[in-house]
């Protein structure tokens, strides 16, 4: 739902809904394509026929590759090559097209700064975390995506419709959950899981802990 809020709320990116898909090229950058929010954003954008999708990712690139459609101009940019390479990689993937939409599912490590260098004046960017004031160039519409919006009265219809769309997508198979890994030891494995998270080993994966497997429980 965080992905849906960022993509479709009129105050955020305001892109075409899946039941009213885009009819012309609409370049979209998803920064953090291997993250859960980024991966769902890519899948929903696919359903909305939004292309080309340019995903920025790192160790999770093989996973992101399974989500995009190269035949429609989609591409992946590796952030591990450095900020300048990310900016140039996005420009190369655009192939001269103008960029007006960016979903920043990272909002750290210069992600929003890099995006500010490729977005056109009049473009839109939404971030999942707060960014410093003035970090986004003037003339670009910037918002912070908050899934909490769906609990507000004015977004009740939005929530009902999009939760239904997510349910349908999971049942039909065009929306797939993130890959997961069961950490051995139940609750006793949490320390290892947190250590691996801190070390950046959890790219394109979610950790699951089975409480029933906890020793001496």
- Cβ pair 8, 18 in contact under 8 A: no
C-alpha angle 35-93-205 in degrees, rounded to nearest 5 = 15
Domain boundaries, the chain: 2-172, 180-213
Query: What are the 10-residue block averages of pLDDT along the chain, 217 residues in total?
Result: 97 97 97 96 98 96 96 97 97 97 96 97 97 93 95 95 96 93 94 90 88 92
pLDDT of residue 68: 97
**Side-chain-side CA neighbours of residue 59 (13 Å):** 7
Give which of 213, 211, 131 is closest to 115, Cα–Cα: 131
Output DSSP code: residue 149: G
pLDDT of residue 203: 79
Cα–Cα distance, 181 to 207 (Å, whole number): 5
- Cβ pair 45, 30 in contact under 8 A: yes
Distances from the Cα of 208 to the Cα of 32, 184, 193, angstroms: 21, 9, 9
Contacts of 195 (CB under 8 A, 6+ apart): none
Q: What is the CATH topology of the domain spanning 2-172?
A: Rossmann fold (3.40.50)
pLDDT of residue 2: 97
Task: Look up the pTM and report it.
Answer: 0.91
């Amino acid at each position: 739902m965080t992905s849906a809020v960022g993509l479709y709320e009129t105050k955020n990116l305001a892109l075409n809904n899946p039941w009213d898909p885009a009819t012309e090229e609409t370049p979209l950058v998803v920064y953090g394509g291997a993250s859960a929010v980024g991966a769902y954003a890519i899948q929903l954008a696919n359903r909305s026929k939004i292309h080309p999708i340019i995903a920025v990712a790192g160790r999770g690139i093989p996973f992101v590759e399974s989500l995009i459609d190269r035949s429609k101009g989609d591409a992946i940019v590796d952030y591990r090559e450095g900020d300048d390479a990310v900016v140039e990689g996005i420009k190369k993937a655009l192939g001269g097209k103008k960029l007006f939409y960016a979903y920043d599912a990272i909002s750290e490590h210069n992600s929003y700064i890099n995006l500010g260098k490729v977005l056109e004046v009049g473009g839109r960017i939404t971030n999942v975390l707060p960014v410093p004031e003035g970090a986004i160039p003037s003339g670009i519409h910037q918002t912070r995506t908050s899934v909490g919006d769906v609990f507000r009265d004015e977004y009740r219809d939005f929530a009902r419709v999009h939760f239904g769309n997510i349910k349908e997508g999971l049942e039909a198979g065009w929306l797939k959950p993130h890959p997961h890994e069961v950490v051995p030891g139940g609750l006793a494995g949490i320390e290892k899981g947190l250590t691996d998270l801190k070390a950046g080993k959890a790219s394109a994966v979610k950790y699951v802990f089975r409480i029933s497997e906890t020793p001496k429980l």
